[in-house]
Amino acid sequence: MKAIVIHAAKDLRIEDHEHADPGPGEVLVSVAAGGICGSDLHYFQHGGFGTVRLRQPMILGHEVSGHVDRVGADVTGLEEGQLVAISPSRPCQSCRFCHAGQHNHCLNMRFYGSAMPFPHIQGAFREKLVADATQCVPAEGLSAGEAAMAEPLSVCLHAAKQAGDIMGKRVLVTGCGPIGLLVILVARAAGAAEVVATDLTPFTLQKAREIGADLAVNVAEASDPLSAFQADRGHFDVLFECSGAAAALASAVPAMRPGGVIVQLGLGGDMTLPMQAMTAKELEIRGSFRFHAEFPLAVEMMRKGFIDVSPLITHSFDMKDAVPAFQMASDRSQAIKAQIRFG
């Protein structure tokens, strides 16, 4: 089989690799579609992010779907030819966090395409993938591209869970990349009364309007773009900070009402917080990291039509064009989610 392998920054190769046969409780999947994520781009552009660096060649990718080729012994509920969304989350099920139901904090997590541990956890951008049957969620009724969006949608569903009840709330979303735009869809599905989005790029802001944001604000065009929301000690009940930029969080705090909730999704590095202003408003900040139990829900919400991710899939490339695909995925002026077709 062929796989997309990163060796160093800007050194992306398509290589031949062997694939295993499915064992008990496993399935062999022909990968159909894979979305390029921000972490994939960090490996491609910089060879890693923060302290996480490539130390050996690694197959990229963790947002994938595919068709079941073969099922191993003791597998039920999956059939050959069936389209499945594949969760990249593979917790050990035996550490104290798994036992506490906090699987996204597993001490021995095996998350596809991660250079955090060494040896690295090889990713899912490959033609054939052996996966645990428990990772595979039937996705009939969806396209392969839509099914591959289950992973980033799960991230946003977990963030919404961290925020608590959103029904009737005024929501601010800072950062309109794929995660920010998916948060807009999730907030709408959860009953938000108002959703305002901010970003730096006209293309992404237009997409935010198209999928349901009441207002999309270009923060590059004004010195204090959220000033209209600062009266009477603030306007928004919930902030989903999706950019990872300290400036985005700092500019949003004056627009938050007292007692509001900040959910931090963006992972852009260390951030300096305006703690005195947050303290005076009694704001709560809650982190949101990955997901686990939300993955089947993400597939179900797409299948039932509660959330339509198709407007966010802006580009699709053949596997042989992986490098142009990564280059396009890096261009926020014209791409939201670029995907790769594997078959």
State how many domains the chain has: 2
295 falls within a domain: no
Residues 107 and 31 in one domain: yes
pLDDT digits (tens, 9 = 90+) for 177-203: 999 999 999 999 999 999 999 999 999
pLDDT of residue 111: 94
pLDDT of residue 15: 97
Q: Domain residues for 234? A: 154-287
pLDDT over 90 percentage in the chain: 95
CATH number of the domain to which 52 belongs: 3.90.180.10
CATH number of the domain to which 229 belongs: 3.40.50.720
pLDDT of residue 70: 96
55 falls within a domain: yes
250 falls within a domain: yes
76 falls within a domain: yes
CB-neighbour burial class of residue 69 (10 A; exposed 0-12, middle 13-18, buried 19+):
middle
164 falls within a domain: yes
Residues 6 or more apart whose CB falls under 8 angstroms from that of 66 comprise: 29, 30, 31, 32, 33, 83, 84, 86, 129, 144, 342, 343
294 falls within a domain: no
Q: How far, in Å, CA of 110 to CA of 103, rounded?
A: 11
pLDDT digits (tens, 9 = 90+) for 113-134: 999 999 999 999 999 999 999 9
299 falls within a domain: no
Residues 143 and 164 in one domain: no
Q: How far, in Å, CA of 171 to CA of 116, rounded?
A: 33
Least confident residue range of 11-15, 54-58, 265-269: 265-269
Residues 178 and 93 in one domain: no
183 falls within a domain: yes
pLDDT digits (tens, 9 = 90+) for 261-319: 999 999 877 788 899 999 999 999 999 999 999 999 999 999 999 999 999 999 999 99
pLDDT digits (tens, 9 = 90+) for 217-264: 999 998 899 999 999 999 999 999 999 999 999 999 999 999 999 999
Asked if 319 and 2 count as a contact pair (C-beta separation under 8 A), the reply is yes
Which residues share a beta bridge with 263? 240, 286
- Helices and strands (H and E) in the chain: how many: 10, 18
Residues 134 and 63 in one domain: yes
Q: How many residues does the structure list for the chain?
A: 343
pLDDT band (50, 70, 90) for residue 151: very high
Q: Which amino acid is at 332?
A: R
